[in-house]
Structure 1
Amino acid sequence: MKICVFCSANEQIDPEFFTLTEELGKWAGENGHNIVYGGVNQGLMECIAKTARGTGSMTIGVVPMMVEKSGRRSDYVDVEIPCDNLSDRKQLMMDQSDVFIALPGGIGTLDEIFTVAASATIGYHQKLVILYNMKGFWNGLISLLNDLQAKGMIRGDWHHYIKTADSLEEISRLI
């Protein structure tokens, strides 16, 4: 299975996020899953690629030209898929992946989560997004989604497109 991982490229974040990301990368490699990710050599992106690759996963980096030009491309990319911009990157990631796991991240990660989920809501695919709720990181977003649902702003049930997992064991069950 190809698992796309959306996550932070920042270094100055909770160290426990790195530990949990390493566990996910190790699990992916040990279970024969490959990793699709943004191809950046920083933060949780570098962490997932290094660990997954070190335990047998192939890593597929979807790398925008701006990342390449700035010298931030990871050395842990086995297959590089170059792209022009972030819109292209999201589409290529969707095309390459079977399921999506969102680790802690910021604006870019939110953009990726909602692009995939919105595409699913109108029928472009039936792929899940899993919010890996490390240390309750996604609790605020989950509350917001529940509030939007209660106010009738989400057609159907958002849980059909976005799942939540508090542990690696829950991720294993969802996949």
Structure 2
Amino acid sequence: MKSIRSICVFCGSNTGYDEKYKKTTIELADYLAVHHYRLVYGGGRLGLMGVLGNEMLNKGGDVLGVIPKVLVNEKLTRISNDKIITTADISERKQYMLDASDAFIALPGGFGTFEEFLTMLSWSQINLHQKPLALLNIDGFYDPLIQLLKQACDAGFAPKENLNLFVSSNHVPELFDQLAKFQHTQPNKWTN
């Protein structure tokens, strides 16, 4: 597998109520900066997205924000114009993020974060990409989603092998160990 240098992080435009989400986001940003990964993210200044981008920039990290035209707003955008790409819409944003990244991590977030993660998972399932995909499962935040994905497999709507298309961990270094070992195997999409 190609080495990972550019990582797209999906995360919320809110910080959540528990301080641990912000704390782990800072830990992730520090890890990315120290290990010289480029961050590809939503480009926002609010929520975990803002925490992540600000921490990376403060550490001198390499940052690329990708924001759809509909969300361009000086209150929402944090980074300078030379570090941001504006796309026509959300679909073009996701395609740009896919093309610009070697791997994906989802931090806790809301509906947009879920949609971005599930899009990349679905695209992996049909072999549109073979890149590592991970959930940073802070304090079990993603346990219900993982359970739902297992339930879809158990009910015959997806092959069980699809559960190998992503990795999950509560700890940043362990998550990167799993990303480094990730091997994409395209399962047969049809179960019956």
Matched residue type, 2:57: R
CA RMSD of aligned residues (A): 1.6
CA offsets 1:59-93 (integer angstroms, 9 cap, x no match): 10001112214631113675211111111111111
| Pair member with larger Rg | 2
Compute the TM-score of the two structures, normalised by the length of structure 1: 0.93
Moved over 4 A (4+): none
Q: Percent identity?
A: 32
Verify the 8 A CA contact 1:7 1:44 in the aligned structure 2. yes
| TM-score, length basis structure 2 | 0.85
- Runs (5+) with no aligned partner, structure 1: none
Alpha-carbon distance, 1:145 to partner: 0.9
Which amino acid counterpart does residue 20 of structure 2 have in structure 1? E
In the alignment, which residue of structure 1 is the partner of 2:138? Answer: 134
CA distance in 1, matches of 2:107, 2:52: 10
Mapping of residues 8-157 of structure 1, within 5 Å: 8-69=12-73, 71-75=75-79, 79-157=83-161
Give, in angstroms, the shift of residue 108 of structure 1: 0.4
Paired residues in the alignment total: 175
| CA shift for structure 1 position 55 | 2.2
**Cα gap change, 1:58/1:126 in structure 2, threshold over 3 Å: closer, same or farther?**
same
CA distance in structure 2 between the partners assigned to 1:134 and 1:19 by the alignment: 10
Give the match for residue 163 of structure 1.
Answer: 167
Q: Is the 8 A contact 1:30 1:56 kept in 2?
A: no
Structure 1 residues 77 and 34: CA distance shift in structure 2, 3 A: farther
